[in-house]
Chains A and B, each alone.
Chain A
Amino acid sequence: MEYKGKGAARPYSAAIAYRAARWILGVVFIYASIHKILDPAAFARAVYLYQILPDGLVNLTALVLPWVELFLGVLLVFGIWMPGAAVLSTFLFMVFMGALSYNAARGLDISCGCFSISPTAGGANIRTIVRDGMFLTVSLYLLIATFGAASLRGLRKREDS
């Protein structure tokens, strides 16, 4: 089930943009997942410091979320399972946005834990929120493009039958 650019249904430039969006987000997710997978304890600390999840869920999240990111990244890069990948990617960027903004609003000065888990890395601030917003925009484009193509095909199928 691939929703890549489908020849005549989609202009060439849109196909390029779609592929670029997939690759950008895919690489971002894969890159972000690696160090978290290598050092789950440090990532757990970053999750804990967000002070959002109940303590009992911190370690579980730290163990599973990086693999979600890795799988999602691979699916995006190869354009597999695009409806699911686009939904999940958009959902994750929204959750990250919420967490970053929430802590920025209450003045909790924590490290982002996004691409580096070192406590001395740059803090979660307006820059990381804007960065997340850019990824979210790309992801929303991917979502719309994916579901646009899918519903178009569904429409055509209905007309055919």
Chain B
Amino acid sequence: MRNRERSPWRQAFRQVSLIIFMAGIVGLGVNWLRADPLSLVGDWSVKTGTAGDSLAIPLAEAARLFSEQAALFIDARYEEEYADGHIKGAINLPWDDVQTRFPDIAGAIPRDRVIITYCDGETCHLSHDLAVFLREKGFKEVRELVNGWTVWRDTGLPVERGNGTPP
């Protein structure tokens, strides 16, 4: 019986539980002490896309900016998807190639216009990552149109086909 109690598997189970328990205490404790603690249950709904940032732009506002020609739309999807159809006037900056492609088109992005990134699908995050990236690059007014391609097309807003990527 004594051997059973000393079984390494039991020991392992107890130790694993303790490690996780201690990590839980310390992790939550440190978070509590932080100047900007993370909420324990974040709001990860598709609308916001991430905990509490205001990146997402409603479709109506995006459409208004489009009609006033006050926004530049950037398609974060692959080149082929972009060529198949995109928001009229949008330029293509595939998130996958962003490091190589961004320097080429950086000059073509006007600083005084709102930038609206989009991709396709509610959980598509390419446009979100691109928006964060552009903000890091110093563009102030960057927004993300969640599920952009689908909602734009289904609403009947202007689209176009073809490869309009700047060389």
Contacts and interface: CB of A to CB of B under 8 A. Distances in A.
Secondary structure of the B contact surface, majority rule:
helix
Contacts of A66: 27
B42 A67 contact: no
Given A84-B18, A120-B133, A147 B96 contact: no
Contact of A83 (B11, B34, B36, B43): B11
Secondary structure of the A contact surface, majority rule:
helix
A81 B15 CA distance: 7
A124 interface: no
B125 A49 contact: yes
Contacts of A110: 125
A68 to B, nearest CB: 4
A14 interface: no
B51 to A, nearest CB: 7
A55 B50 CA distance: 10
Interface in A24-53: 37, 40-41, 44-45, 48-49, 51
A119 B128 CA distance: 10
A86 B19 contact: no
A59 B40 contact: yes
A75 interface: yes
Interface residues of A, number: 46
A120 B98 contact: yes
Contact of B3 (A68, A72, A158): A158
A98 interface: no
B155 interface: no
A40 B38 contact: yes
Interface residues of B, number: 44
Interface of B: 3, 6-9, 11-16, 18-20, 22-24, 26-28, 30-31, 34, 36, 38-45, 50-51, 95-96, 98-99, 123, 125-126, 129, 132-133
Interface of A: 1, 3, 37, 40-41, 44-45, 48-49, 51, 55-56, 58-60, 62-68, 70-72, 75, 81, 83-88, 91, 109-110, 119-120, 123, 146-147, 150-151, 154, 157-158
16 contacts: A44-B51, A64-B20, A64-B24, A64-B28, A68-B19, A68-B20, A68-B23, A81-B15, A83-B11, A84-B14, A85-B15, A85-B19, A88-B20, A119-B133, A147-B9, A158-B3
Given A1-B11, A55-B45, A71-B26, 14 more contacts: A40-B34, A41-B38, A44-B42, A45-B50, A51-B123, A58-B44, A67-B22, A67-B30, A70-B23, A71-B23, A83-B9, A88-B16, A150-B8, A158-B3
